[in-house]
Structure 1
């Protein structure tokens, strides 16, 4: 495992979203933005991200909507219907946050991958559709479409990995619609299914790691 500099673990609260930065001493220049799922916080995806890219700098951000003992990225109406104004407000705010945090910590957004899980994956897909040009690559774990109205965004050249869970009875049925939506906008999609439910684990880490290696090649 790589050694990490002493800036790691500190919770920054002076930008639009609270976040933690993890930069290996031998950082490769690659960066992963981590967007957690509902009801947890910014630390949840860090172990998975370290499996995926141990030499990458990690930006682990926290959603601003309180839910139970944790946080989410935008308001929901039901488990599969979401408040549209909240999506747009939080998406715009995160776009500004990503640009600011990249400037502050001298991160190259062109070498960044946005890794989102569940509600965090849905924020990333909205970010690509509503604020094009920011996200060059995205790995979306257990996502679904959330926008009622989708702009005519050109995603040509954007690489997207979508991983659904075969036993995820609530959300996996929506994954094909998201694949179709993003493909129609020009993105290059790699869609996979793992034999799990809504939870993520080692199979996801292995797929994302291989996908990133192939993308770099």
Structure 2
């Protein structure tokens, strides 16, 4: 829809519900990439999967990388692009709530890699917007690492890492989980076999998380 800033896929539920999950893909992917994960979440809900604003190879990216800290494994979001994407996602979520008549008290947020980094920052900026957040293979951006806003206390947050992830090491995701816990969130953390992707055990874990907190 033209009044929603970001291109997206919207899948309607079978039942008359306003529950929804917003989905943010990883670097170089697109809005189709995480639909198989979102489709497997328990419960009936709208799925709104956003496309990042900038082209990258055959897909899209939310922001450029700042590699000045020593390489990919210690990268941070480029501040200007990160800020723009955070604002665009927030505006798109607000517009989608109105456009699709969503229940503003029952909104989940699921992201992978860059989408997970964006998701963790969004819940720290707007904790009252989301009922729960699932962040797969991401880290807590330095720009948001010291935030502990009102409304984050007890917020259900799922953080997943890959034991063999060479793009975002498990230690960074674990540190993100600890940072969110220190901010006051109710964090569920798990490290799973495999690299930079969501495998069967990780999918089963996020399904259980959503079933518990949805």
TM norm. shorter chain > 0.5:
yes
1:166 touches 1:195 (CA, 8 Å); kept in 2? Answer: yes
What is aligned with 1:200? Answer: 198
Q: Residue 64 of structure 1 aligns with which residue?
A: 53
What do the CA deviations read for 1:16-75 (whole angstroms, capped 9, x no partner)? 111111012235542111110110100111111111236221001101122111111122
1:132 counterpart = 2:130:
no
Whether 2:212 is the aligned partner of 1:214: answer yes
Alignment partner of 1:75 is 2:73: no
Residue 98 (structure 2) aligned to one of 95, 103, 119: 103
Superposed CA RMSD: 1.8
Q: Helix, strand or coil: the match of 1:209?
A: helix
Counterpart in the other structure of 1:8: none
| Matching residue of 1:4 | none
Q: Which moved more, 1:119-128 or 1:65-74?
A: 65-74
Between 36-45 and 81-90, report the one with greater CA deviation: 81-90
Residue 22 of structure 1 aligns with which residue?
A: 11
Q: Structure 1 unaligned runs (5+)?
A: 1-11
**In the alignment, which residue of structure 2 is the partner of 1:142?**
137
- 1:75-100 residue CA offsets vs partner (Å, 9 max, x unmatched): 21233222112212211221121011
TM-score by length of 1: 0.87
Q: Tell me the equivalent position of 2:161.
A: 164
Residue segments in structure 2 that go unaligned for 5+ positions in a row? none
In 1, the alpha carbon distance for the partners of 2:105 and 2:56 equals: 32
2: distance between equivalents of 1:32 and 1:148? Answer: 25
Deviation digits for residues 188-210 of structure 1 (CA, Å, limit 9, x no counterpart): 00001111111113222211111
TM-score of the aligned structures, taking structure 2 as reference length:
0.88
Partner of 1:153: 149
How far off its partner does 1:157 sit? Answer: 2.9
Output the CA distance in 2 between the equivalents of 1:48 and 1:122: 18
Structure 2 distance, partners of 1:196, 1:29, is 35
Measured against aligned partners, the alpha-carbon deviations of 1:112-170 in whole angstroms (never above 9, x if no partner) come to 21010011011111111233322221011101122335444231131100110111134
Q: Name the SS for the 2:86 alignment partner.
A: helix
